[in-house]
A and B are shown apart, each in its own frame.
Chain A
């Protein structure tokens, strides 16, 4: 089944404790991105990747890192999480890097930073 998977689905952590949220897709997609969803703000892009070893900042990159060493994986790293990073995170992928291409979303990771 074609899908985007994220792990963990739920995470409660404390301020400053490094964490990684994994994202994997099995569709051989070139484009992957991370969004965060906050009430009243919709989804905002954090980082994106056009292909292996090619990443760039989205609208809200502060406090986050990413890497793209393999085509299928695009982990999101929070080196020193803070409470304002409490949010619902979505990974997405697309087979085409053009403006009209559909993006496929993972199930989401709900992160709470205490």
Chain B
């Protein structure tokens, strides 16, 4: 079964600083990988996804992620953090189990400070 590890349950950055949220996956087949964001009291919103093709994926709100097969990683980055980026971020992998199941990491809470 697939699994996802997110290093750091809480990450704090200054406004304008680089955001780096780490995600490593375990998959027995070529993975489909996702990053979702959850703002307070809201559902999850897709930031970006990797299926096939270009390994550098650009998403919404200036975020991007790079699929590195050799490192089994899919880290999320943003060059300059904004206060509005404060949220919880989830990395997920499509599971080969029944249906279209997503296996999620445990999430990383991003705090942006002035």
Contact = CB atoms under 8 A, between A and B. Distances in A.
Interface range for A: 20 to 34
A30 to B, nearest CB: 10
Contacts, number: 71
A58 B76 CA distance: 27
A17 B22 CA distance: 41
B104 interface: yes
B43 A45 contact: no
Interface in A27-42: 31, 33, 35, 40-42
Closest 6 CB pairs of A and B: A105-B43, A99-B94, A100-B51, A42-B104, A105-B44, A43-B104
20 contacts: A33-B99, A33-B100, A42-B90, A42-B104, A42-B105, A42-B106, A43-B90, A43-B104, A58-B98, A90-B44, A92-B44, A99-B32, A100-B32, A101-B100, A102-B46, A103-B46, A103-B102, A105-B36, A105-B45, A108-B43
Interface of A: 4, 31, 33, 35, 40-45, 48-50, 56, 58-59, 90, 92, 94, 96-103, 105-108
